[in-house]
Structure 1
């Protein structure tokens, strides 16, 4: 008796993406529709590709008529489909497909991912404007705001790289948009897209500057010299 019960409990497992349970409400599915879909998937995995409304409703707390109505709605809403297939003998038969459901889930993921990226991008852009205004000690002019927007939208510079160029200009004592634009131009020309690449490029550039620096005077200093400071080390 116990062996039979254990066999019944071990009838099989249903593999369903966990995201379906977290997103079904946002996809305008209710609990009855979700359970109906899960039962369809169960039948399909057991080899019954086209369970009848009677078979489906027998596993739920709904009538056959209600099951028919739910099936109709799920098809209309694009969560399941009925497709035609042919056996090896050429006999036509119908089957349920939950492929539309998985496609909807993928679309949902892509939309959420895009929204997250847009929120992050807006936050980065807002922070970027704040950083510039802090360093310049004043609100940016319309022309400067337009330059920032062009660096991001037209030149496709990452806000992190633009911040790096801003700090480079500060450390070089040349805080102006023309100088920052030149830094970004040089970095783009040299294929620099990450902080690490900018760090390496900055190190080589400063080493070259040091080698070409005029000899120090008797007091150990050079007029208009800029102390060696690699802000990228911070």
Structure 2
């Protein structure tokens, strides 16, 4: 069993240790010797009650702010939920506008790139794979050959008709508006008498000469009359 009694030697050691600690923290105005401990002569019940009350006060002070918070009623909850939904809607619209703006910028950039570095019309043509020419439609080829052959035949016919038309235009004699009405008897043909080299006289020539025609007179034709009318 442990000894419940404290000897004087132990007390002296405790006192000596307290004195050393006091010398470390002592101020010039404090006494040199360590003050004696105050002895509490109260009953044990009072001392324990004091300790319990002090701990209860500390606990209440710690949880005092938690007790100040109260619950929200239904109206306040509805208001807060409405504000939250409105804020979420605004954020969603803002995100949509930003996405639309970014997409428009991307499309404008793509169009500018195509205009600056886009392929030409010849590059857009379908190129044969492996050096094989694309097959041509047979029906289109037949129609093209028929049209070409028909055009060649038409050109040949036009070429053949041109000399014929030119020859006909040269040989066709247009009707003249001058007509011989009658001849005068007894007038000699001076042209034939002048050209002849025979020794016959003027009387013999006049007897054998033919009658000369009367000077022509301009008589308008039916076509000319229609034009004048």
* Shorter-normalised TM range: under 0.3
TM-score, normalised by the number of residues in structure 2? 0.21
TM-score, normalised by the number of residues in structure 1? 0.21
Larger RCO (CA within 8 A; separation ≥ 6): 2
Bigger-Rg structure (1/2): 2
